[in-house]
Amino acid sequence: MSIRICRLTPELLDDYLYFFENVAHTDNKEWDRCYCLNYCSEANAGRDFSSQDVRREYAIKYVKSGKIQGYLAYCENKVVGWCNANRKSDCLKCGGWQLISKDDKAYDTNLKIKSIFCFTVAPDMRRKGIATQLLSCVCEEAIQDGFDYIEAYPNKRESNVYYDYVGPLDLYKKFGFALYKETDQRFVMRKRL
């Protein structure tokens, strides 16, 4: 099985939308069409994302403007996976970061840190190494882009496949991430690049 990883660009918007509308959460209607909106470089406080149409409009806007950043995984020209990886400094006000960091207010803004917020893999493609390939690409490109560190925020306690969207702790350890600090519910894993 050959997997190709591509950085999300506005030209890949249709693939991104198709993935979240038809593939990503077909086995979890609670998260249907989430579009990964909580993990972008925009403050989402006070916005009502309850409507799929509204979420879609924001997704289009965020992809076109570069506020949502990440990588799509393709198998036979079909999107089978997604990894949200953005600049930490751009996400300090996003909804997802607020959840992660509610007990961690200290952040050295002089550091250039790439943050990994989410993995989503097509239900029929899970456990085939796609998240591993996505993480490998994120690490390689973070080095090329001149980042100092890469961070991830796995759950302290194992959960179901949906709430482990942040990636498993062992995956990060395999890539040389080390425990940097902890919040109530998350580990902050960091790798020097």
Distances (CA, A) of 20 to 28, 33, 40, 59, 120: 12, 5, 15, 10, 9
Which residues, at least 6 apart from 56, have a Cβ–Cβ distance to it below 8 Å?
Answer: 17, 21, 33, 35
CATH of 3-192, one of 3.40.50.720, 3.20.20.70, 3.40.470.10, 3.40.630.30: 3.40.630.30
Q: List per-residue pLDDT tens for the chain, 193 residues long.
A: 799 999 999 999 999 999 999 998 877 777 677 878 777 767 676 777 778 888 899 999 999 999 999 999 999 999 999 999 998 888 777 777 676 665 555 666 788 999 998 999 999 999 999 999 999 999 999 999 999 999 999 988 876 666 678 888 999 999 999 999 988 888 999 999 9
pLDDT, position 106: 60
pLDDT, position 105: 56
pLDDT, position 74: 98
Pull the structure tokens for residue 151.
Answer: 């961070």
Please state the domain extents for the chain. Answer: 3-192
What's this model's pTM, rounded to 2 decimal places?
0.90
pLDDT, position 186: 87
CB 175 within 8 A of CB 169: no
Report d(CA 43, CA 40) in Å as an integer. Answer: 8
pLDDT, position 103: 53
